[in-house]
Amino acid sequence: MQRIFRRSIGFVLVGLLILIAGGARDAMAQEIKLKLSHFAPTAHNHHANVIVPWTEEVKKRTNGRVQITVFPGASLCKVTQQYDCAKSGIADLAWGVTGWTPGRFPMTSVVELPFLVRSAAVSAQVLADLWDQYLKQEYDDVHVLYLHTPPAVHINMQTRPVRVLDDFKGLKIRTPTALMSSLLEALGATPVGMPATEIYQNMSTKVIDGFTMPFEALPPFRLHEVTRYHTEVWISGSAVFAMFMNKAKYDALPADVRQVLDETTSRQSYWRQVGASWDKAEVGARQVVGAKNEIYTLPTEERRRWREAAQGVADQWATELEAKGLPGKALLQDARVLAAKYGEAD
């Protein structure tokens, strides 16, 4: 009898061990580890105040199941290849510039047009409002968590200031996208394409005379060290940034995890919050730049001259989209209406 009892207890214990081991395997199977690539230094606002807090929030809301490892400074994917890295699955997520894939996101570039919006918060809100009707169709190959832009950019120079339109003649100015190149050409400068990580060296060796950027980007890339004159003009959104995610990876996630990702990056609130963080960084960075260098705010009348010179850029942009069968004119008009709605009509 005792032998039968001991045998029964043994079976129970073995069963319990199997259940415990199976439960441990299930728990381990539920752990989700994701790789997030971006090109900015860790000192940059977007890394410190947007990406890192977001990964921590995702971990918290999933009770530690989702762990996102961040690879900053182009340590996983090359600077200009963030979209391709997310699309191919080299990175599960990647934050990069849509304009680094020329021709791929033509409608998204609407907020890069000159003199449309000034603040990053409004620009992100405009993108969010345009998403369903216009922009969503451009991202079939990836899942997009959010879009945004920096604050509108200024002119940053090394050897001489730009204070009137004629000052652009003969200048070589770095450009991040094709649309900014068109704007610089309209103003009289020669655009030179390169990623932000190469500006410092090319300014130091005088390969370029200046670059277009908001103030917030200068301290993280140490660019206030190789500039002296800054024309505060809020000329253009410069570039659209996106947090791309590999589509297959997103689709394969459990429904509750997808829900967390969606809720923490909602178009209803989060996109604008991302932009607002850049606007906040802009204020502090302007003080840093102004303490060392000269900041000249473009007068209203001269600003009008620059606007007139740049008008053809928006018209040509809309015409080129129409030629591709895209609603360029309607999109431009809607973007302008939204900018006015949010108080930033230039």
Domain borders along the chain are 11-19+21-103+121-149+239-280, 154-238+285-341
Q: What are phi and psi of 164, to 5 degrees?
A: -135, 165
Read off the DSSP letter of residue 118.
Answer: -
Which pLDDT score, from 0 to 100, does residue 7 have? 53
Concatenating the DSSP letter of every residue in 81-96 gives: GHHHHHHHTSSSEEEE
pTM of the model: 0.87
Token pair of 258, please? Answer: 């997808």
Which pLDDT score, from 0 to 100, does residue 166 have? 97
pLDDT tens digit sequence for 205-258: 999 999 999 999 999 999 999 999 999 999 987 789 999 999 999 999 999 999
- Are domains 11-19+21-103+121-149+239-280 and 154-238+285-341 of this chain identical in fold? yes
Mean pLDDT of 135-154: 97
Token pair of 246, please? Answer: 């590999």
Q: How many helices (H) and strands (E) does the chain have?
A: 12, 11
Classify domain 154-238+285-341 by CATH number: 3.40.190.170
Instruction: State the CATH class of domain 11-19+21-103+121-149+239-280.
Output: alpha beta
Q: Which of 196, 272, 203 is nearest to 43 (CA)?
A: 196
Above 80 in pLDDT, residue 25? no
- Identity of the residue numbered 146: Y
Above 80 in pLDDT, residue 161? yes
pLDDT tens digit sequence for 268-281: 999 999 999 999 99
